[in-house]
Structure 1
Amino acid sequence: MQYCLVTLILFISILIYFRIADHFNIIDKPNHRSAHTQITLRGGGIIFPIAFIIFCLFNINEALQNYWSFGLGLLAICTVSFIDDIKTLSNKVRLSVHLISVILLLYFTGAFALMPFWIWPILFILIIGTLNAYNFMDGINGMTGTYSLVTLSSLAYINREVIQFTDNNFIYYPILACLVFLFFNFRKKAKCFAGDVGSMGIGFWVIGLITLLIMRTGEYKYILLLSIYGMEVVLTIIERILLKENIFEAHRRHLYQLFANEKKISHLIISSVYAILQLVINVFLINFQFPIWGDILIVFIPVGTLYIGLKLNLKKEYNL
C-alpha cells in the first residue's frame, strides 16, 4: 500500500511539474548534438529529488539520523543542475557544487573513515567523472530511465539476497521514480526529457548506493554495475583525444548516438539493448566470484571488442 501511495504522489508531482514547465517554457530545443528533432519539456528528472523528499517524509526519523548528508548533497547537485537546465551556469559554479555534493556523499558512505586520505582525491575524480558520464549518456529516449532501473534493481536484489547494506526503501523509492519517469519518457515521442537535474540526480543516487555497497563489503567489483556507461564514455574520450578534438565540446561520437542518428534505429531499442547488456553483466557479477581483475577482463574484453567493432563498422559505412 505504501508503494502504491508513493507512486501516486510521484505521478501527481510530475504532472504538476509539466504544467509549470509548460507555463515557464522550460523546454529542450534540438541542437547539433541532439538525437531528437522535436521541442520537448525538459527537467522531468526533477522526480528523483522529489522521490528523496517523499522518502524522508515517510521515514523521517531514519532520514534525519542516517541520510541527511546524502540528502543535502543530492538536493544541492539537483538544484544547480535544474538552474543549469534553465540558464547556463559557469563551469566554476557547477564544479564547486559538485565537489561539495561529493564530499557529502563520501561522508554519508563512510569513505573518509574507511579509506586512507591519499585515496580521497581518486574517489573525487571517479565520482565526478561517473556523474558526468551519466550526463553524457542521457541523449535518447529511455536511456537514463532503463539503465538506472536495471542498476537499481540489481542493487535491490543484492541488498535483499546477498548482503544488506542500506534500508530497502532507500532503493525502492528511486526505482518507483524511474518507473514513473519512464511512463512519460520511454516513448517514440517522449512527453519529457530528464534534463541535467534528472541525469545528475539519479546518477548521484546510484553512485551513492554503489559506493555504500563497496564500503560495506570491500568488493570493488561492484563498480562494474555501471560498466557499460563507463566503457562507452572512456573509449569515446580516448577516440576524441586521438582525433585531437576538444573533449569538453558537445559531440555525436557516442555509439548510441551513431545508431540513433546515422542508422536511424529506434531510441527505445537502443536504450533497451544497453540496459539488457548491463543486466547480463550484473547477473554475472552477483552469481560468480572472481578476483576484481578477473571480473574486469571477463566483462571488458568481449564488450569492448564488440563496441570497437561496431564503432569501426559505422564509421566506415558513413565515412565518419
Structure 2
Amino acid sequence: MNLMLILTGFIVLFLAELLYFKIAGRFNIIDQPNHRSSHSNVTLRGGGIIFSIALLLYPLYFGFEYGYFLLGLGIISFISFVDDIKPVSNKIRIAFHLIAVALLFYQLDLFNLSIFWIILALILVIGSINAINFMDGINGITGSYALITLCTLLYVNIYIVEFVTTDLLITSIISVLVFNYFNFRKKAKCFAGDVGSVGIAFIILFFLLLVVIKTEDFSYLLFLLLYGLDTITTIFFRLIRKENIFEAHRSHFYQYWANEKKIPHLAISAIYASAQLAINALIIFWMPHTIFIFFLFLIFTTIIFLVCRFAVEGSTRLIGD
C-alpha cells in the first residue's frame, strides 16, 4: 500500500467516523455514566464501528480474499452495534457470536483439525473476545492496546513471516489511528462501544490465529498477555469473593487505578500499551519460541502480576475479609 493510498484511506475513514457521529447524535446513541462507570461525562457510543467499516470496505479495492472472515466480522459487529443501542438477550448475542466464529474457523480451515483443537480454539476466541470487551472501560485503552498489537503483527508479517496480506493489516491500523484521534484524549469525543471492542477483538484474533497456524508457534498469543492477565485474575478474585462474574463490575486492575487511585485514564492506557509493547519485543527478539518457554513465561508473568495486584490493591479488596 503506497503513501497516497494510505492517506486516502485515512481521509475516507476520518470522514466516515464524522458521519457516524452525526448519526449517533441524531439517534441518541450515547454512553450514560452509572455507578459502575469509570467516566463521568455523557459521550457518544460506538465510535469503534470504524474498525469494522474499514475492513468491510477493504474488498472494494483489494478484492474478497478473506470473504468468510469479513462476513463473520460483519455479523458480530452487527449484533454488537444493536446491543450498543438496545440490550440484546444473551442467547441471541451468543448465537450471533458462534455463527461469526464458525465463519472465522472456516476461513482458517480449523474445522479440518481434531475436535480437541476446535474446542480449544473456540474457548480461546470466545474468551479473548470477552476479555478485550471487558477491558474497554477508560479513554484510550482499547485504541492504544490495539495499535500496539496490530503494529507488532505488521512487523512480524514484514520481517519474520508473512501470514496475511500486508494491506489488510495496514487498513486495520489506519482505522485504529482514526479512532484514537477521537478517543485518546482527556475528554473523549466517543467510546468504542461493544461494536468497537468486540470488532477489534475479532480482527486481532484473526491475525493472531493466522500467524500461529502459519508458524505453529503459540508464543504469538502472548501479544494479548496483559489483557489476559487482568481479566483472568479479576475473574479468579471475584469467584473467591463469591460474586456473580456475569454482572458488570469495577474490579479490574486498571479500574482500580482509574477509580480508587484517580490516575488519569490516558496515563493508565499508555502504561498498559507500553507494557505490552515491551512484552512483544521480548517475545520477538529474545524469547526462545518453544512450548516449554511459553508456559514458563506465562507462569512467571502471572506470578508477577498477582504480586503487583496484592501489593497495590491489598488482600482485603482482592479476596475479601
Tell me, yes or no, whether TM beats 0.5.
yes
Which residue number in structure 2 is paired with residue 164 of structure 1? 162
Matched, 1:219 2:217: yes
Structure 1 residues 17-36: Cα deviation after superposition (integer angstroms, max 9, x where no partner): 00110111100011222110
C-alpha deviation, 1:265, in angstroms: 0.3
Contact map agreement 2:137 2:255 (CA 8 A) in 1 = yes
Q: Which residue in 2 is equivalent to 1:260?
A: 258
Q: Deviations over 1:144-181 (max 9, x none)?
A: 00001001001000000000011001111110001000
User: What is the distance in 2 between the residues matched to 1:204 and 1:300?
Assistant: 26
Equivalent AA in structure 2 for residue 4 of structure 1: L
> Equivalences for 1:43-192 in 2 at 5 Å?
43-60=46-63, 63=64, 66-113=65-112, 115-192=113-190
Report the Cα distance in structure 2 between the residues aligned to 1:100 and 1:293, rounded to whole angstroms.
34
- AA aligned to 2:224 is L
Kindly provide the amino acid, as one letter, of the partner of residue 226 in structure 1: L
Cα RMSD (Å): 1.5
Residue in 2 that maps onto 1:296: 295
Structure 1 unaligned residues grouped into runs of 5+:
none
Alpha-carbon distance, 1:318 to partner: 8.9
SS of the residue 1:44 aligns to: coil
Give deviations 1:119-152, integer Å, cap 9, x for gaps: 2122111100100001000000000000010010
Instruction: State the AA in 2 paired with 1:86.
Output: I
What's the counterpart of residue 280 of structure 1? 278
- What are the Cα deviations for residues 190-229 of structure 1, in whole angstroms up to 9, with x where unaligned? 0000000000001100000000111111111111111111
Task: State the secondary structure of the residue aligned to 1:176.
Answer: helix
- The one-letter code sitting in structure 1 at the alignment partner of 2:101 is V
CA distance in 1, matches of 2:292, 2:144: 28
Per the TM alignment, residue 253 of structure 1 is displaced from its structure 2 partner at its CA by 0.7
Contact 1:6 1:54 in 2 (8 A): no
Contact 1:281 1:299 in 2 (8 A): no
- Looking at structure 2, the residues matched to 54 and 319 of structure 1 have their Cα atoms a distance apart, in angstroms, of 46
The one-letter code sitting in structure 2 at the alignment partner of 1:53 is L
Question: Which of residues 12, 18, 23 is equivalent to 2:21?
Answer: 18
**How much does 1:118 deviate?**
2.6
1:42 aligns with 2:45: yes
1:300 CA drift (Å):
4.5
1:239–1:318 Cα change, 3 Å: closer
**8 Å Cα contact 1:139-1:257 kept in structure 2:** yes
2:233 matches 1:230:
no
Change (3 A) 1:246 1:171: same
Matched, 1:243 2:241: yes
Taking the aligned partners of 1:150 and 1:181, their CA distance within structure 2 comes to 14
1:5 matched to 2:2: no
Q: Deviations over 1:248-298 (max 9, x none)?
A: 011111000000000000110101111111111111111132422313323
Q: CA deviation at 1:112?
A: 1.8
Identity of aligned residues (%): 46
Provide the C-alpha distance between the structure 1 equivalents of 2:31 and 2:201, rounded to a whole number of angstroms.
20
Q: Would you say the 8 A contact 2:217–2:289 is kept in 1?
A: no
2:305 is matched with 307
Aligned partners of 1:293, 1:37: CA distance in 2, in Å? 45
SS at 2:58's partner residue? helix
TM (norm. structure 2) is 0.94
CA distance in 1, matches of 2:116, 2:295: 24
Please state how far the C-alpha of 1:319 moved relative to its aligned partner: 5.7
Distance in 2 (alpha carbons) for counterparts of 1:27 and 1:112? 39
Q: Which runs of 5+ in 2 are unaligned?
A: none
Shift of 1:316: 3.5
Shift of 1:187: 0.4
Q: What is the letter of the counterpart of residue 28 of structure 1?
A: D
- CA deviations over 1:81-113 (Å, ceiling 9, x no partner): 000000000000000010011111111122222
| Separation in structure 1 between the aligned mates of residue 35 and residue 59 of structure 2, nearest angstrom | 40
Measured at CA, do residues 173 and 228 of structure 1 come closer, stay the same or move farther in structure 2, by a change above 3 Å? same
Partner-residue secondary structure (3-state), 2:40: coil
User: Please, what TM-score do these two structures have when normalized by structure 1?
Assistant: 0.95
